[in-house]
Structure 1
Amino acid sequence: MKVHERLGELLLVGFMGEEMNASLAAHIRDLQPAGLIFFSRNISAPEQLAQLTHDIQTLARQELGRPLLLAVDQEGGSVARLGPPFTQIPDAVSLGRSGCESVHHYSRLTAREMFQVGLNLNLAPVLDVNTSGAAGVMKRRSFGDDPSLVTQCGIAAISATQDENIMATAKHFPGLGRAHNDPHHDLPVVSAGGEELERTDLPPFRAAIQADVACVMTSHTLYPALDPENPGTFSPTILRNLLRAQLGFNGVLITDDLEMGAVVERYSQADAPIAALQAGADLLLVCNDLEKMHLTAEVVLDGLNRGMLDPQDLALSLTRVAKLRKTYLDPPHLADVATVATHFST
């Protein structure tokens, strides 16, 4: 297939509902995305989730000829989509205080439960170093304020997750730990100099890359010392030069949700997807608005047709996504609903 026929594979999108139906089938068939992201609105019980992922992957194999990435934010604490009876994980700062063995233990349990119900991509761990203390937006989601501790905990989480055949995601590159504003609402600005970022914020990501983390997620944050004009998600300097060329990351690069306030206050719906792909992103994350998901697909196709996007760059992104599928989803895993029901009832 040619690049323009595979552009859906640059999308990681949300959906509505807890079961396979005509609407969800059409959503998958029309967008042909790389994958779906699950939220609490899609999950009511382990056996329900297992049935849903089973049905999604069965449809994907029939209609698309490939499995889908099935993602969830399961960091622990307040950012956890899998509620009881799934194992409930302490937040990152508590895990950091407990030590890396605790991080490894909970990450392994989470990955095993995700695998059981058919999920395959965890948008975790958070590798942001919380240098802002109690005022930091990441104060509970970060392992702590010590770069060495965050690095060690991050590696423990990544290894435990990926050893269970679940893809891990290091986020939010190049670091959101200095931010006081929440990018869900508006654009944070990190004023630290380049040397300070290199010393404090980048070490966990550097180590994650050396540990062969599957994915990295970008940050909707402005870093004037690195790029005075473009937030991380939209900065070729940060994504292509720093992450790819200098740090050597060859995995899949996922944007944070393009519907966040930090994005929509600066970019139109037509501009954001193009700018992110131009900067070097592989997957565009659109979580909630179904209309925006379809608009994003249309914008990407239009950008390619108008010469705004380099087909060779998009081909490289598609290759990276395909390699990820080959590594983790070949052969594809289908959840066994009966086994899941038995496991979580005991």
Structure 2
Amino acid sequence: MEDRDRISSSERDERREIRRQRRIRSQIIAYSVMGVFVIVFVAVIALGISKATGFIQEMNASYEASLEASKVEAEPAAVSSPDENITEAEVSSTENMLDTIVDTCLSEMPLEDKVAGLFMISPEQLTGADAVIKAGNATQDALSKYAVGGIYYSTKNIKDEAQLTDMISSTVNMSKYPLFIATSEVGGSGSKVASGLSLDMPASPSQLAAEGSPEKAHETAETVSNYLNRYGFNLNFGINANLSDSEQSFGTDQAVVSSMVAQTVTGLDTYGVSSCLQFFPEISDSGTTAEGMADILAPFKAGIDAGADMIMVCASASSGITQDDTPSCLSSAVVTDLLRGQLGYQGVIITDTLSDETILERYSDGDAAVAAIQAGADMIFIPGNFEESYNGVLAAVQSGVISEDRINESLTRIYRVKYASRVDEIASE
């Protein structure tokens, strides 16, 4: 594959500012448009179910045609010249289109698919195989039964470039809905794809922190985004926002870590790879109260401001916040009050692995998954037993323990991320 032209610093800053403004405006407009949709929905009901169904089918066909026409080789978005500005009307049009796409998708989705869409699992959990390196009949059958929201691939799923590209492409084509195709490419020894394909290993977070150059962190993330995009990945879990002296962290200075995290988020966005910050609020329980967490939370706030699409809440307890030993990802005090409330995060919140021993020792798979949704999480990551977890959430919705509106709330956040880049491409044509 030919090398892509290098993006100048000024162009990169300009594009980042454009995308940042779009994200800020999208959050504001999303809530404003919600009221309009309620009115439109009532009007559509009045016109009759048959007309509503026809409208939805026509819009789906039109949108799918637009997506096919817009498929081009992935490359950084074109940057407007300084005298060209994105108008409010253009932003509003893009946001309205995104809201319409998401609303229509959810309106046609059966409850079983909605619940499955909350799960991010491994290909082995999906198919029951020991090590998946190809998407065949087993993958197709499993995706037809369980329309999961995302699949996480590790080194054992990677043999060579052709195999990886074909497996991911086939999996995406088999799914009824857009998928998160995820891995952890954190730099250094923790890079799943670079390790599996024997690529030049990207610098680890600790190396980047030692160099003290946020620009280098951006360039490294941009390189990672380039090859992840090429193989079909659209989500990277590889941003550790914790203050730590481990190889996979940017150090213990909150100002340095905050800068590095923000630059990594924007660097990944260069080639359309979404970023997930880990592990909120801290990887181990320090007993620190929310009031005493300013330094700990600063890197997460920097990542949020930079546009991080997803944040993973850790499995360890945050006893200073919860006053007990509840796992953070199952605690509404951590997920809803602190992350949503205090930090104002409106993106996708995903749990840490629910197969963690500290969780499995205390909760059944179904109970853990239900507790995560009740706490405010949007997605469940690698449960101990996927089918039991899925059935637990489905039963909770069917019995009214969890409302379908609550499921729709999470799916709206998820699908806004999944469709956002496609709408951008269509709007920029």
Aligned runs of 1:1-346 on 2, under 5 Å? 1=108, 4-5=111-112, 6-16=114-124, 17-60=132-175, 64=176, 66-82=177-193, 83=195, 84-98=197-211, 99-130=213-244, 139-176=246-283, 179=284, 189-197=285-293, 199-229=294-324, 230-286=326-382, 292-329=385-422
Q: Structure 1, unaligned stretches of length 5 or more? A: 134-138, 180-188, 333-346
* Pairwise CA distance, 1:234: 0.7
Quick one: structure 1 residues 8 and 191, their matched pair in 2 at CA, closer, same or farther if it must change by over 3 Å? same
Cα distance in 2 between the residues matched to 1:328 and 1:257: 27
What letter is aligned with 1:148?
A
Q: Secondary structure at the match of 1:75?
A: coil
Higher RCO structure (Cα 8 Å, ≥6 apart): 1
Partner amino acid, structure 2, of 1:74: E
Runs of 4 or more above 4 Å deviation: 329-332
SS at match of 1:156: helix
State the distance in 2 between where 1:228 and 1:211 align: 31
Q: Is the 8 A contact 1:167 1:328 kept in 2?
A: no
Distance 1:3 1:207, change over 3 A: farther
TM-score scaled to structure 1, two decimals? 0.84
Task: Indicate the RMSD between aligned Cα atoms, in angstroms.
Answer: 1.8
Range that drifts further, 105-114 or 220-229: 220-229
Give the direction of change, closer, same or farther, for the CA distance of 1:330–1:117 in structure 2 (3 Å limit). farther
- 1:20 Cα deviation (Å)? 1.3
Q: How far is the alpha carbon of 1:264 from its aligned partner?
A: 1.1
C-alpha change, 1:12 and 1:324, in structure 2 (3 Å) is: same
Q: What one-letter code is carried by the residue in structure 1 that aligns with 2:122?
A: G
CA distance in 2, matches of 1:28, 1:86: 31
- Greater radius of gyration (CA): 2
Deviation at 1:95, TM superposition (A): 1.7
Does structure 1 conserve the Cα–Cα contact (< 8 Å) formed by 2:290 and 2:338?
no
Larger CA deviation: 209-218 vs 259-268: 259-268
TM-score when normalising by structure 2: 0.68
The change in CA–CA distance for 1:330 and 1:257 in structure 2 (over 3 A counts) is: farther
SS at match of 2:354: coil
- 1:81 corresponds to which letter in structure 2? K
- Measured against aligned partners, the alpha-carbon deviations of 1:73-125 in whole angstroms (never above 9, x if no partner) come to 11122322112443312322112112322211111111000000111000121
Distance in 2 of aligned mates of 1:218 and 1:73: 16
Distance 1:2 1:28, change over 3 A: closer
Structure with the higher helix share, 1 or 2:
2
- Identity of matched residues, %: 23
SS of the residue 1:78 aligns to: helix
- Please tell me the residue identity of whatever aligns with 1:276: A
